[in-house]
Amino acid sequence: MRKTCALIFAIIFSLVLISCGGSKSGKQQVKKDQENSMRGQETGYGTIYDNDTALARDRAIDDAMNKLVKKILGTTVEGRARVEDFALVESIVEAKSSGMVRNWKILKEGAEQGAFVVTIEGEVYPQAVNDTIEATLRNYGRPKFMILVNETFEGKQNLPGYTVTELTMMELMGKAGFEFVDAAVTQELMRKERNKMTKAMAGTVGEGVQDVLLDDIGAEVLILGEVKTNDQSHAMAAYSKNMKSKSAIVNVKAVDVYTGRVLASTSVNQPGVHIDSDTASKVAIQRCLSSILGKTDDATGKFTSGPFMNQITRKFLQSATQRMIMLNIAGLNYDELTKFRNQIEHRVRGIHKVYTRGQAGKYSKIEVEFAGKTNDLADELKAKAPNLGFMVEIKESYPNRIMLTAKKK
């Protein structure tokens, strides 16, 4: 009997060991399969300008890595959402693609018909892609806001600056890191720059308005529109004589100060009930704004964006990949400017197109379509200029223009 029990125990113990070993082996195999699914090959291309094969080689490697990231993540269920976001911001993060691919090696490289061609093999690192996208959204998808809303609150007309709408927006979004022009600054501008601010409230963003909003206070997005509260307490009469019922109607749009484009627009109305009339109107406005902007979860402290806010950040981010920035250049004659323009268009990362806007002697203006902010372009120009055959000094930098001097080496 004892021998039988010992035999049964030994068999069970052996089965447990086999089961554990098999489970561990199975997990290792799954992990290995996942790693293999993240590995692949891609070929990138970089045009050779002025026999600069080193720069063309770097661009070819970047191109191959970008292609690899999109291809590999696009084949996984988990990665498809990242690919969708990556496509949105790829022109901004292209320089960082090397951090998204690890354990990579060059399989083949060489010059072919005016281009440098590189084939790489590597492993895509999904978390690095996700981190880069989130960092880009924080840097480019969080513009500074100015609120210019006409508000009729309890029958009283309130102009921009300390309206209930402004204070509510700042409270809702401020906790999530969104930045606003101070209400006191808005009030001051309404007094000192009435003509320009009237144009801004109408959505007309010309050079004079941009000078005030972008250059002076850094406002990148305007929220414009009308907010009105109405009394509907008669509907409560049958239930309570003391309770006040109000409704708020919010009609707003967001305008990109850089371009004047409408990023998003919406209209919403909500009720508010309270024993105090003012409080009931505030509740109605708060409910309207929470439904379109989002709100912070009291338990987690995390801000969840609403549809209007999501549209603003997405469209603003898209605009950031095609931002028009003016370069005011001193020091180059016509021939030198032509060379400078061609060089930066083909060899400065992030520049898509360059447009000539006029020249008088050695003073000129060119406008560039750039994927990023002005300070990013200034850094790129300063870093790359020596290799382009020019010495560049950044004199002044503003949100939509750069003042610089340049001379040929």
Which residues, listed in sequence order, are joined to residue 173 by a DSSP beta bridge?
none
Which pLDDT band holds residue 356 (cuts at 50, 70, 90)? Answer: very high
> Which tens digits make up the pLDDT trace of 376-409?
899 989 888 888 889 999 999 887 889 999 999 8
Topology of the domain covering 37-139: Dodecin subunit-like (3.30.1660)
Given CA atoms 139, 140, 144, 150 in this order, what sign does their dihedral have?
negative
Residue 202 reports pLDDT greater than 80: yes
The pairing of beta strand 303-305 with beta strand 294-296: antiparallel
How much of the chain, in percent, has pLDDT values that exceed 90? Answer: 40
Calpha distance 354→200 (Å, rounded): 28
We find that the CATH architecture of domain 321-408 is 2-Layer Sandwich (3.30)
The confidence score (pLDDT) of residue 349 equals 77
Question: How much is the average pLDDT of 298-323?
Answer: 82
**Residue predicted with more confidence, 371 or 180:** 180
State the Cα–Cα distance between residues 170 and 147, nearest whole angstrom.
9
Decide if pLDDT at 222 tops 90: yes
**In this predicted model, which residue has the larger pLDDT, 168 or 131?**
168
Rounded to whole angstroms, the Cα distance separating 145 from 400 reads 16
Q: Per-residue confidence at 240, pLDDT binned at 50, 70, 90? A: low
3-state secondary structure of 1: coil
Beta carbons within 8 Å of 39's beta carbon, 6+ residues apart: 72, 121, 122, 123, 124
Helix (H) and strand (E) counts in the chain:
12, 16
Predicted confidence (pLDDT) at residue 336 exceeds the cutoff of 80:
yes
- Provide the token pair at 44: 């990138």
Q: At what angle do helices 126-140 and 80-93 cross, to 10 degrees?
A: 60
Residue 87 confidence (pLDDT): 66
Structural tokens at position 89: 């911001």
Least confident of 136-150, 246-260, 380-394: 136-150
pTM: 0.69
Residue 41 scores a pLDDT above 90: yes
**Looking at per-residue confidence, does 333 or 178 come out higher?**
333
Task: Tell me which of 2.60.40, 1.20.120, 3.30.70, 3.40.50 is the CATH number of domain 141-319.
Answer: 3.40.50
CA distances from 160 to 106, 165, 194, 238, 333 (A): 59, 9, 12, 37, 47
Cα 49 to chain centroid, rounded: 31
pLDDT band of 317, cuts 50, 70, 90: confident
Across 171-175, 176-180, 209-213, 321-325, which has the greatest mean pLDDT? 209-213
Give the amino acid at 288: C
When the pLDDT of each residue in the chain is averaged and rounded to a whole number, the result is 83
Average pLDDT score over residue span 286-307: 85
Residue 205 has pLDDT above 80, yes or no: yes
What local confidence, expressed as pLDDT, does residue 254 receive? 95
Please give the C-alpha separations between residue 205 and each of 192, 200, 217, 322, 324, in angstroms, as whole numbers.
17, 6, 15, 18, 14
pLDDT at residue 77 greater than cutoff 80: no
The terminus-to-terminus CA distance of the chain in angstroms comes to: 98
> Residue 52 carries which DSSP code?
-
Across the range 296-324, mean pLDDT stands at 82
Q: The tokens of 401 are what?
A: 């223009």
Q: Indicate the domain borders of the chain.
A: 37-139, 141-319, 321-408
Cα three-residue angle 340-316-404, rounded to 5 degrees: 25
pLDDT at residue number 316 = 85
CB–CB of 270/229 below 8 Å? no
Mean pLDDT, residues 146-159 taken together: 92
Helix axes 183-192, 164-174, angle to 10 degrees: 140
In whole angstroms, give the CA distance from residue 183 to residue 42: 52
270 pLDDT above the threshold of 90: yes
Beta bridge partners of 251: 226, 267
pLDDT of residue 13: 46
pLDDT at 267 over 80: yes
